[in-house]
Amino acid sequence: MLTLPRIETLFASHGTAWYGGEAISQTAHALQCAQLAEQAREPEPLIVAALLHDVGHLLLAESTTTDMRHQEAAADALAGLFGEDVTGPVRLHVAAKRFLCAVDPDYFSTLSPASVQSLALQGGPYNEAQADAFAASPHADAAVRLRRYDDLAKVVDLATPPLAHYLEMAARCARLAV
User: What CATH number does the domain containing 169 carry?
Assistant: 1.10.3210.10
pLDDT digits (tens, 9 = 90+) for 3-45: 999 999 988 987 877 666 678 898 999 999 999 999 999 999 9
For residue 178, is it within any domain?
no
* For residues 110-122, average pLDDT: 87
- Considering the chain, what percentage of its residues have pLDDT values greater than 70? 92
3-state secondary structure string across 100-112: HHHHCCCCHHHCC
Q: Given this model, what pLDDT does residue 19 score? A: 67
Look at the chain and report how many structural domains it folds into: 1
Q: What is the pTM of this model?
A: 0.90
Rounded Cα distance, 40 and 150, in Å: 13
Sign of CA dihedral 54, 15, 78, 37: negative
Which candidate, 58, 40, 72, 30, places its Cα nearest to that of 142?
Answer: 40
Cβ atoms < 10 Å from Cβ of 149 = 24
Q: Given this model, what pLDDT does residue 156 score? A: 92
Q: Given this model, what pLDDT does residue 63 score? A: 40
pLDDT tier at 161 (50, 70, 90 boundaries)? Answer: very high
For residue 87, is it within any domain?
yes
For residue 161, is it within any domain?
yes
